[in-house]
Amino acid sequence: MNIRIINKSKNSLPAYETAHAAGMDLRADLETTMVLQPMERKLVPTGLHIELPVGFEAQIRPRSGLAFKHGISIVNSPGTIDADYRGEVKVLLINLSTEPFEINTGDRIAQMVVAKHETVNWNEVEELSETSRGHGGYGHTGK
């Protein structure tokens, strides 16, 4: 799939780090170092603008290494970039640790997965089909 992209940063384009990776790393595009204090959230620019085909979205997800090693995650995970959005791709990071976290230009801050999606047309009805789960809610199927 070919996707049109404008890169206003000094970073390379998002790329797959391994042959079978689903996500491409996104890098911070900053004028100066950004420090994320414990429980603080900030919008981190990437310098990227993309033009997705209709029927596709870009999901912005946390990087597992940042989450495990530093408690860094994404507030609205996964974030969604819609096909009609043309603004800069930014990542809403949060520091869930007890230590400040430093972000510099070029740091890998998130991953982006491009995925196909469907457009739904609702069919309003009076009842739904029965299943073995039925109305079982949170925790219904586990211990």
> What are the tens digits of pLDDT across the range 52-111?
999 999 999 999 999 999 999 999 999 999 999 999 999 999 999 999 999 999 999 999
Flag whether 26 is in a domain: yes
Q: How many domains does the chain have?
A: 1
Tell me the CA distances in angstroms from 35 to 14, 40, 93, 102, 118, one per residue in order.
23, 9, 11, 4, 38
What does the pLDDT read at residue 109?
A: 98
- Dist CA 115 CA 127 (whole Å): 31
Mean per-residue pLDDT over the chain, rounded: 95
Tell me the CA distances in angstroms from 55 to 52, 81, 94, 140, one per residue in order.
8, 12, 29, 34
Flag whether 36 is in a domain: yes
Flag whether 29 is in a domain: yes
What does the pLDDT read at residue 60?
A: 98
Flag whether 138 is in a domain: no
Flag whether 108 is in a domain: yes
Flag whether 49 is in a domain: yes
HSE-up of 77 (CA within 13 Å, CB side)?
A: 14
On whether the CB atoms of residues 74 and 110 are closer than 8 A, the answer is: yes
Flag whether 99 is in a domain: yes
Where is average pLDDT lowest: 9-13, 99-103, 135-139? 135-139
What does the pLDDT read at residue 142?
A: 65
The domain that holds 110 is classified in CATH as 2.70.40.10
Residue 121: pLDDT band by 50, 70, 90 thresholds? very high
Residue 143: pLDDT band by 50, 70, 90 thresholds? low
Between 38 and 136, the higher pLDDT residue? 38
Residue in this structure with the two tokens 């009805």, named with its chain if needed: 125
In 10 A of CB 38, how many CB atoms?
13
What does the pLDDT read at residue 133?
A: 79
- Domain span at residue 51? 4-10+21-116
Flag whether 75 is in a domain: yes
Token pair of 114 as six digits: 């491009």
